[in-house]
Every structure is written in C-alpha cells, then in structure tokens.
C-alpha cells in the first residue's frame, strides 16, 4: 500500500481538462511544499513534470499545472492531447522517513 493515495485511472477527451488527486497526511503533503509529479510512458523512466507543488521544469508545457490544499495535491492537464496518455505519479517529502514517498500511480486514458 502506497503512502500517498491516487485514483487508479482517469480519462478525458482531447481538448478537455482533467485533474488527478494525490492524498497524503500532515506528515507529508500537508506539512511541506515539496510535492512533485512525474509522467511515465510504458517501458520508460519517469519524467519530472511539476515540482514544489506548482513549479514546472524548463521545457514542460504550460498545460500542466499543480496545486495543493491541505493534505491533497492535484495535477491538472488542460487541452488534453493523445500524447498525454501515460501513468502519472505524485511524490512528497515526508517527515516520517528520509526517502520520498510516492503515490500508487494514475493511468490517464485519452479517449
């Protein structure tokens, strides 16, 4: 069982917006602004999409945005495209250990 909880799957049509939630506790998401989001295509390593809750690394599309409220972080993808179909993972710094914790992952399907 993962430390952070994500929905197993979400779906949307091209052009729509979707949001993936990531729920933790006061020891991780709720206590620190160190939430990251990663995208992973099958057979590939993850790619950083969002860090520090809402910052985008250079080169990541502005269609990707992050936010946090209490113990829940969210990733929003606007203007959905076929290439967005992938697995998405959240992670957070945690006070209960010294390694980052990950969510169980969410499979995004573009209909």
Partner 1 sequence: QVQLVESGGGVVQPGGSLRLSCAASGFTFSRYGMNWVRQAPGKGLESVAFIRYDGTNSYYADSVKGRFTISRDNSKNTVYLQINSPRGEDTAVYYCAKDFHPLVVVPGTLDIWGQGTLVTVSS
CB of 27 to partner 1, least distance (A): 14
- C-alpha to C-alpha distance for 95 and 73, rounded to whole angstroms: 17
Please give the residues from 84 up to 103 whose contact with partner 1 meets the rule CB under 8 A: 89, 91, 93, 97-103
CB of 98 to partner 1, least distance (A): 4
Query: Looking at 36, 65, 71, 74, which residue binds partner 1 (CB under 8 A)?
Result: 36
Q: Provide DSSP, 28-77.
A: TTTT-S-EEEEEE-TTS--EEEEBTTTB--TT--TTEEEEEETTEEEEEE
Positions in the binding site for partner 1 (CB under 8 A): 2, 34, 36, 38, 44-48, 51-52, 57, 89, 91, 93, 97-105
């Amino acid at each position: 069982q993962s430390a952070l909880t994500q929905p197993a799957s979400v779906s949307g049509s091209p052009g729509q917006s979707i949001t993936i939630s990531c729920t933790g506790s006061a020891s991780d998401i709720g206590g620190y602004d160190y939430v990251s989001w990663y995208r992973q295509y099958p057979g590939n390593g993850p790619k950083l999409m969002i860090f520090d809750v809402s910052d985008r690394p250079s080169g990541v599309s502005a269609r990707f945005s992050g936010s946090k409220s209490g113990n829940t972080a969210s990733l929003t993808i606007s203007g959905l495209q076929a290439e967005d179909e992938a697995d998405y993972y959240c992670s957070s710094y945690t006070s209960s250990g010294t390694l980052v914790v990950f969510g169980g992952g969410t499979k995004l399907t573009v209909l």
